[in-house]
Amino acid sequence: MMYLHDVWVNWFESEENGYQVAQYHEWRKEDKIEVIDQTPLLYIKNHLFEYIENDLQELPASLLDTIYKRSFMRKGQTRNVVDYSCVITNGFESLAIDTIGYSIPVRKSRLIPRQEQLVYDMIKSAKPQGFGFKLRNYQKDYHILSMPPEQVRGLTRREREIKQILMLALDQLRTAGNLEELRYWLTEWDPKQYAVIRFLNVDEVWEKLFNGVKQGYSENHEAFCAKIVRGQPFLEKLWILEKEHAQDTSKS
């Protein structure tokens, strides 16, 4: 078995989509970076890599058996064993995962460039493993709180985060189903449609609002997010954190 040592990780927890696991150049100074003292390196087939990277489903039992208690985290002078953790690669991308004792990849991290290159050097003479995984009836489901990759392609980490906050707010709007409230927010998003908005029903208003917000990213997304989160403590806190980060970045 191949092993990596002193692996820097920036864990993203409970992120089912790989695009939410930030690349090294998007890591922030406030992120909590940890070091895995030793961890297995698995060269796996691409369909299995994508399944692990872009979902929170059960890992193959044979893969879990292979990595069981073979990783170690060092904290100070203490070396602690980790139940199920490893670095996986398909030969083009790499990802560190940790199940925190479960059978799903709860925590995910990208690697720093130097260690990612080491991964590719180490697997040059190896063949990818499938660990008995077959796609069968598996199909990745995307929805308002789990956007398809094309809706965030090309966005920065901050833009992805703000768009995610927007989707959380829109999901609450849709659940409430208040026609006048939906009309109000569609007017805020696209004032040009004011003349026709008052004639639209709930489904029509929702479709126009959602279809508008889900496409791309612009200054309008920023302004709309600032308005829609007001008075919602949880979402407003997330928005403030992203705003503060933008200010810190502009100063550096």
How far are the Cα atoms of 166, 177, 207 from residue 201, in angstroms, in the given order?
Answer: 22, 11, 10
pLDDT for 57 equals: 94
The overall average pLDDT reported for the chain is 94
How far are the Cα atoms of 36, 181, 244 from residue 30, in angstroms, in the given order?
Answer: 19, 37, 12
The DSSP annotation for 34-52 comes to: EEEEEEEEEEB-HHHHHHH
Whole-prediction pTM: 0.91
User: What confidence tens digit (pLDDT) does each residue in 215-251 have?
Assistant: 999 999 999 999 999 999 999 999 998 888 776 665 5
Record the tokens describing residue 101, joined without a space: 């004792």
User: What confidence tens digit (pLDDT) does each residue in 65-109 have?
Assistant: 999 999 999 877 788 999 999 999 999 999 999 999 999 999 999
